Amino acid sequence: MDLNAIKKKLKGLSLREKLIAGITTAIVVFIVPYMFLYEPSKKAVGIKRQSFESILKDVTTLDTVIKAQPPEVPQAMPVTLPKADTFHEMFLAISRQANALGVDFISISPEVVRQKDRFIEMRLKLELRVKYRQLYDFVRYLGEKHRLLLIESIRFETNDAVYPQGIALIKALTYLEKT
């Protein structure tokens, strides 16, 4: 239908029918978009604005609480040397615990030894025959008991022939007192 055909049909309508068509057109053009587009968007914006104001209020409350608390100063852990004073004594202490955990040493050797003030800095290379869980327990023991034995890297290798055991290569750094 073209525009001329619509005009001819409108001329043939009575005043009552034209009034009904005009009201229907106004409803379709103005009220339906308002009800289905504007009103839901307005409600969504209102809900998001309330949520934002609530979050802003919570943030300001937390900010005042945080400012009211005195800052915590972290306690530095005291630096203690391992109970062993020599490489031999340290190795014995570590190997006792390794045996208790079921870890077999293949080798332990110093790679680099340097003098640092009143300490000796020593880089170690430990090769172990171990299962993965035993390796975890052993490394945790080293971290808890020998705080100055710093683990730099761990490499764990296994194959079908020795699985679930494998070979672990641990590179560590330690400090010993000069005697």
- Tens-digit pLDDT profile for residues 87-139: 677 777 777 888 888 888 888 888 888 888 777 888 889 898 888 888 888 88
Instruction: Output the pLDDT for position 78.
Output: 52
Among 28-32, 82-86, 163-167, 171-175, which is the least confidently predicted range? Answer: 82-86
Residue 127: Cβ within 10 Å count? 16
The proportion of the chain whose per-residue pLDDT surpasses 70, expressed as a percent, equals 89
- Global pTM reads 0.48
Write down the mean pLDDT value for the chain.
82
Which residue, among 147, 112, 142, has the nearest Cα to 130 in the 3D structure?
142
DSSP state of 151: E
pLDDT reading at 32 higher than 80: yes
3-state SS assignment for residue 70: coil
| Average pLDDT of span 57-76 | 82
How many Å apart are CA 107 and CA 128, to the nearest integer?
A: 7
Instruction: Output the pLDDT for position 147.
Output: 60
Q: Which residues contact 78 (CB under 8 A, 6 or more apart)?
A: none
> Which one is predicted more confidently, 74 or 135?
135
Which residue, among 121, 44, 136, has the nearest Cα to 87 in the 3D structure?
121
Could you read off the pLDDT of 134-172 as tens digits, one per residue?
A: 888 888 887 777 665 788 899 988 888 777 888 899 898
3-state SS assignment for residue 107: strand
| Position 48 confidence tier, pLDDT thresholds 50, 70, 90 | very high
Taking a C-beta distance cutoff of 8 angstroms, is the pair 138, 150 a contact? Answer: no
pLDDT reading at 56 higher than 90: yes
